[in-house]
Structure 1
Amino acid sequence: MQEAELTERFTGRIGLVTGAASGIGRDAALAMAAEGARLVLMDRDATALEATAAACPGAVALEGDVSAAADMDRAAAALDAMGPPSLLVTAAGMLGPTRPLAEVTEEEWDRLFAVNVKGTWLALRALLPRMARAGGGAVVTIASGSGLIGNAVFPAYSASKGAVVLMTRSVATSHAAEGIRANTVCPGQIETPMLRGVFQQLGDRAAGVEAMFRARNPSGRFGEVAEVTQAVLFLLSDAASYINGVALPIDGGRLA
């Protein structure tokens, strides 16, 4: 894929990226910083997070769990030390069990929703009042194509990402008057550690499921992380000033 032309869309803007140690969160953080954003980066993987922060000028790395209110409060305090935030990307997430709902344990369900749903909510709870006081901002949550349709391979994950989609749309309707836009991207199968984790969990079924995923996609391939990042950056930018409440599939036409 041809690299996007480098601009400076976020010069002078401050924001938070969760899940910044790998995958979409890391790529989004690197791209935002390259275009001038100053960021607080949050993840549980301290080593990988430090590597991301080292490549993002002026970034603050904060090891923490997005599902823990105290950790999110520390992220908010780090933002306050920088200045008023106007950008938020919630990329922290987990796949959870690849089993039918009836076989998912209560512990697995609670942890999945703690990270994917509660973690998104805590980030919104921390950032929305600060954005409102600053005169506005832009939020992009990371959901999934599995949050728009049912998924027989990982139904619990699908349920959690469906919650993220409607949470984001609710923010769009309730905070637009404060100058805050909220959109969500819904990636399909993207070449990330999470996708490879799906196949690892499936064991002997992995090859068949991977072939099924590819066969169902009109593009015949999995997406690249950079293809998601470019959509995230557009939705955060002023070029998307009249786009609010969108759940954007990035899936090669899978849901067309």
Structure 2
Amino acid sequence: MRADRFTGRVAVVTGAASGLGRVAAEGLSAEGARVLLFDRDGAGLADTARNCPGAVTVTGDVTSAADQARLAEEARRLGPVTLLATAAGTIGATVPLTEMAEEDWDRLFDINVKGTWLTLRAVLPLLREAGGGAVVTFASAAGLTGSPALPAYSASKAAVVMMSRSLARVHAPEGIRVNCVCPGSIETPMLEETFASAPSPEARAQREAEFRARHPLGRFGKAGEVAASVLFLLSDDAAFTTGVALPVDGGRLA
């Protein structure tokens, strides 16, 4: 880490109450940014804020336009916003596509796709007002290749990838870079949720082994390894990088 890489800058992080969003927010804070933390889990936000001096928390739902408007209003009060990380997401139901309930499909796309869109719609104007900045959205390695175990999740993250690439082209003339990270299987509450949904201990062990075997490095990733890539893409070290969908996947897509 470099203590001054984001000094004087304001960053917005959604999904900041746990997992990748929390670690990314803590990394931004440790490198000098003042962070606005957004999540529907108020207690989790408070835990994250304890590790982010000067942080502001906004409790809300990424799928709510009204909550996103409150997010933008609070962010504007902090000063010019130049950094955005959209980490809010869900894995959804781990069932075959033909067995997925309509309401589960809708909820998955509401959070992963609509939630990302609403955040971008709310916060991108702030980056434009600031004269530029950087955005990192959170997709998945499953958004770059088919996932037999998670077809609906894969489809939702593919949508995030293409939304990000399209916005990179639109906003480049404004000095706004848009990239996304595409993690493989990372040790987070979301991954644990995937394993915990297995119908038996034997099925869980098999699922864990199958997920691990997809990664040539032979292990699951750590949240800090994804956060390091997020911080790079947000930083001026990546000043000539936009429109990238960066796999952080232990070689899964090699």
Class of the TM-score when normalised by the shorter of the 2 chains:
over 0.9
Say how many residue pairs are matched: 252
2:220 to 219, 222, 233: 222
2:190 to 188, 194, 197: 194
Distance (whole Å) between structure 1 residues aligned to residue 187 and residue 199 of structure 2: 18
- Matched residue, 2:167: 171
1:10 to 1, 6, 16: 6
1:212 to 210, 235, 253: 210
More moved, 120-129 vs 181-190: 120-129
* SS, match of residue 197 in structure 2: helix
Unaligned runs of 5+ in 1: none
* 1:155 and 2:147 aligned: no
Q: How do 1:66-105 and structure 2 match up within 5 A?
A: 66-105=62-101
* Structure 1 residue 78 displacement after superposition: 0.4
Distance (whole Å) between structure 2 residues aligned to residue 213 and residue 116 of structure 1: 21
Distance (whole Å) between structure 2 residues aligned to residue 98 and residue 235 of structure 1: 30
- Matched residue, 1:40: 36
Runs of 4+ in 1 over 4 A off after TM superposition: none
Distance (whole Å) between structure 1 residues aligned to residue 82 and residue 214 of structure 2: 38
Distance (whole Å) between structure 2 residues aligned to residue 118 and residue 214 of structure 1: 30
Distance (whole Å) between structure 1 residues aligned to residue 65 and residue 11 of structure 2: 18
Distance (whole Å) between structure 1 residues aligned to residue 60 and residue 24 of structure 2: 18
1:239 to 231, 237, 240: 237
Unaligned runs of 5+ in 2: none
* Structure 1 residue 101 displacement after superposition: 1.1
2:252 to 240, 251, 254: 254
* Structure 1 residue 89 displacement after superposition: 0.3
2:136 to 134, 140, 151: 140
Distance (whole Å) between structure 1 residues aligned to residue 75 and residue 185 of structure 2: 32
Distance (whole Å) between structure 1 residues aligned to residue 124 and residue 2 of structure 2: 28
1:80-108 deviation per Cα after TM superposition (whole angstroms, max 9, x unaligned): 11112100000000111111111111111
* Structure 1 residue 7 displacement after superposition: 2.6
* Structure 1 residue 10 displacement after superposition: 0.7
TM-score by length of 2: 0.97
* Structure 1 residue 216 displacement after superposition: 2.5
RMSD value, Cα: 0.9
- Matched residue, 1:61: 57
* SS, match of residue 79 in structure 1: helix
* Structure 1 residue 24 displacement after superposition: 0.4
